[in-house]
Amino acid sequence: MTLLLALDFGGTKQAAAIANAGSREWLGYERALSPRNANANTDLEIMRSLIHSLLQGVKPAAIGVSFGGPVDATTGKVRLSHHVPGWENVPLRDLLAEEFGVPTRVDNDANVAALGEHRFGAGQGYDSLFYITISTGVGGGWILNGKPWQGAEGMAGEIGHMVVDPNGPMCLCGKRGCVERLTSGPYMAQDAREILENESQRLPLMGTFQEKEHTQRGEILRGLVEGNLELITGIVVSEAAVAGDDLAREVLSRGGWALGMGIGNVANLINPRRFVLGGSVTKAGKVWWDVVTKVARETALPEVNFEIVPALLGDDAPLWGAVALSLDALMTQPQT
């Protein structure tokens, strides 16, 4: 039996799992939320305790690691975390390889999830694919010629900050109309909230007929949070859209449009065989998927073929990708 250790350093939670090579079942699986004031050291300490609880002193054959932030995959060095301080230039691969004395590989979460879907999920048998995760952020990972493509400095896959509408709303990155700004869960929630707030303010100025029209607009969405607009999340917007709320549908459709534009542009540029979409926003239902697919098809040239399919591994995609990474580490590194 070849025991593989898979680690997932998320921005807000850590997960670790073990599996035998060739198996698709976890032998063990542990996770923990990060504390409020997490830093690189607390993240590492939490991960060590998860690993200890899983392994009980048994040595794994290899380690694969998914990290939620930019990584130089060739050296396994973390560049930084956008969520947790202290991760700047941490040689995570070497640190774990020394501590456990086994071959180790580290890559960023989108790349690792792409590898997971490629080896064990919706991308099996597809030697070129782009995996896109759409949840609190939007990220992507490439498989080209059957292998991860990380880019010259490990930064490839950032479809979230492709500009699709230069006159669109301002993104935290400083640009307008990024894919992430239009289609991530929190931004869709924010936009829905702002439209509802503005409409409430406008009401007193209007006559009876318009007032009726406007109280109806977004009524289902408003109802779902019992009028407390602070409670609106991406998921609530999706639920309202599924229930027929016009305002929620509008916001969700704009998000789907942005992602569809991004996918169509990517299809023209790289011509991958498949797009695999994961993350919470992909649960938004048929309205969202229909818009994504339609706009992607319209944006790509007629000669450019591709399929858009949902991811299969869910939240475990980075961990299964880490299993694949650990296998690769085992095959290519000198044995100890």
Does 164 bind a copy of itself (CB under 8 A)? Our answer is yes
Q: Within 10 Å of residue 229's Cβ, how many Cβ atoms?
A: 16
Cβ-based burial of 174 (10 A; exposed 0-12, middle 13-18, buried ≥19): exposed
Q: Which of residues 206-235 bind a copy of itself (CB under 8 A)?
A: none
* CB hemisphere CA count around 297 (13 angstroms): 8
User: Where on the phi/psi map is residue 58: left (φ > 0), alpha (ψ -120 to 50), or beta?
Assistant: beta
Contact 317, 51 (CB under 8 A): no
Q: In this complex, which beta carbon is closest to a copy of itself, that of residue 28 or of residue 86?
A: 86
Does 106 bind a copy of itself (CB under 8 A)? Our answer is no
Give CA–CA dist 299/287, Å, rounded.
18
- Considering only 116, 137, 154, 185, the residue that binds a copy of itself (CB under 8 A) is 154
Q: In this complex, which beta carbon is closest to a copy of itself, that of residue 284 or of residue 296?
A: 296
Does 158 bind a copy of itself (CB under 8 A)? Our answer is yes
Does 163 bind a copy of itself (CB under 8 A)? Our answer is yes
- Considering only 303, 332, 335, 336, the residue that binds a copy of itself (CB under 8 A) is 303
Contact 288, 294 (CB under 8 A): no
Torsional sign, CA 5, 8, 14, 19: negative
Q: Applying CB under 8 A, which part among 8-16, 83-91, 277-285, 303-311 lies near a copy of itself? A: 303-311
What is the amino acid identity at position 65? V
Does 309 bind a copy of itself (CB under 8 A)? Our answer is no
Window 10-39: contact mask with a copy of itself (x via CB under 8 A): ------------------------------
Size of the site for a copy of itself (CB under 8 A): 44
Give CA–CA dist 236/285, Å, rounded.
12
Does 142 bind a copy of itself (CB under 8 A)? Our answer is yes
Cα–Cα distances in angstroms (integers) from residue 63 to residues 87, 133, 165, 333, in the given order: 19, 24, 41, 12
Give me the least distance between CB of 297 and a copy of itself, in Å please.
12
Does 298 bind a copy of itself (CB under 8 A)? Our answer is yes
Does 79 bind a copy of itself (CB under 8 A)? Our answer is yes
Window 118-137: contact mask with a copy of itself (x via CB under 8 A): ----------x---------
Q: In this complex, which beta carbon is closest to a copy of itself, that of residue 172 or of residue 231?
A: 172
Q: Which of residues 248-267 bind a copy of itself (CB under 8 A)?
A: 261, 264-266
Please provide residue 6's backbone torsions phi and psi, each rounded to the nearest 5 degrees: -115, 130
Give me the least distance between CB of 301 and a copy of itself, in Å please.
6
Window 265-294: contact mask with a copy of itself (x via CB under 8 A): xx-xxxxxx---------------------
Does 7 bind a copy of itself (CB under 8 A)? Our answer is no
Q: In this complex, which beta carbon is closest to a copy of itself, that of residue 261 or of residue 292?
A: 261
Does 304 bind a copy of itself (CB under 8 A)? Our answer is yes
Q: In this complex, which beta carbon is closest to a copy of itself, that of residue 7 or of residue 143?
A: 143
Question: Which residues are at the interface with a copy of itself (CB under 8 A)?
Answer: 70, 79, 128, 140, 142, 144-145, 149-159, 161-167, 173, 175, 261, 264-266, 268-273, 298-299, 301, 303-306
